[in-house]
Amino acid sequence: MLVKNILMLKIENLHCEINNNPILKGLNLSVKPGETHAIMGPNGSGKSSLASVLVGNENYEVTKGEVLFLKKNLAELSIEERANLGMFLSFQYPVEIPGVSVSNFLKTAIGEQRKFKKLKAVKSVDLLKKMRKNLEMLEMGPEFLSRSINDGFSGGEKKRNEIFQMLMLDPKLIILDETDSGLDIDALKIVARGINKFRSKKNAFIVITHYQRLLNYIKPDYVHVLVDGKIVQSGNFELATELEKSGYDKYI
């Protein structure tokens, strides 16, 4: 019973700025395990900035407020500590790293995360098996593993690669930043299937998106409208449907 009451994430009155420009202006949000929250809003409202602040992008300065992630003060955690505790961002624009293969990248990340958790290293054979299984689910061939990470990937491949990493790293709090952008409808279905299979009582999702499209496949429990750095309205899935019809005009 106690577990249920533990918050995965608690954001209180969060203010942040970049190059002295205020972006988030008093954001509040609580996320419990098993929940999926959608954050919607017009361009420039601070959706991606929220994702960046949560994972620890050092270009953003938190000026006020507090974020607790699994009861720990986020401000005191390094980028890698956040990841090791189970935070995962599926990037809107994943970085290309020529020369580092997908499998090598993942092996390193999984190795480091297990070291952090004081767990024994996984056998290469077992890791490869798991990689193949997850690739299959995302309808990607095994040759994908030896390609340089994101280097020369199409928009769709980049997004699938992010979700592939999510499946492999088994995080607790997953932030999907515009995961639907650059995906055609078939790819979107495949990616959504991977995500839905991964959803459980133990993890939670924050889905950042402009459109309802993605939410048709990944049904959120809550929908929040972010405008000018603040959540101005919260509701259930119907709110997303409403927004799709009326747009964000009434909030601006």
Partner 1 sequence: MNIRKNNTCPALQKLLNNFIKKETKDLFTKKSKLNVLKEGELKMFLDTGIPNKEIEGWRHTKLSWGEGTNNHVGGVSKKKLITPGFLLTIVNGQPRLKESNIPNYISLKELNTLSEDEALNLLKKTSCEKNVFTKLNNALVKSGFLLSVENPDLEIVLTIHYINTIPGVSQSRFYFQTANNVKLTIIEQFSSDEMTFQNNTSLWMVGEHSKVTKFRLGESGDENPRSTCINNQFVEQLGSSSFNSYSLYFNDGDFKIAGTIRNNSYYTLLSPLASCSVFSISKLAGQTHIDNNILMKHLAKDCESLQYFNGVFDQESSSVFNSSVWVEKGAQKSNTTQKNNSILLSKNSSFHSVPKLEIFADDVKCNHGATMGQLDERALFYFRSRGVSEEVAKNLILYTFLTEPLQNIETLGMKSIIQNDLKKQLNI
Nearer to partner 1, 164 or 222 (CB): 164
Instruction: Establish if 185 lies at the interface with partner 1 (CB under 8 A).
Output: no
Nearer to partner 1, 97 or 190 (CB): 97
Please identify which residue in 7, 22, 25, 57 interacts with partner 1, judged by CB under 8 A: 57
Instruction: Establish if 119 lies at the interface with partner 1 (CB under 8 A).
Output: no
Instruction: Establish if 165 lies at the interface with partner 1 (CB under 8 A).
Output: yes
Q: CA 208 to CA 200: how far, in whole Å?
A: 19
- Least distance from partner 1 to the Cβ atom of residue 106, Å: 8
Instruction: Establish if 163 lies at the interface with partner 1 (CB under 8 A).
Output: no
Nearer to partner 1, 11 or 87 (CB): 87
Instruction: Establish if 118 lies at the interface with partner 1 (CB under 8 A).
Output: no
- Sketch the per residue contact string, 205 through 224, with partner 1: x for CB under 8 A, - otherwise: --------------------
- Sketch the per residue contact string, 76 through 115, with partner 1: x for CB under 8 A, - otherwise: --xxx-xxx---xx-x--xx-xxxx---xx--xx--xx--
Q: What angle do CA 39, 206, 77 make, to 5 degrees?
A: 120
- Least distance from partner 1 to the Cβ atom of residue 60, Å: 12
Binding-site ranges for partner 1 (CB under 8 A): 55-57, 78-80, 82-84, 88-89, 91, 94-95, 97-100, 104-105, 108-109, 112-113, 116, 165, 169
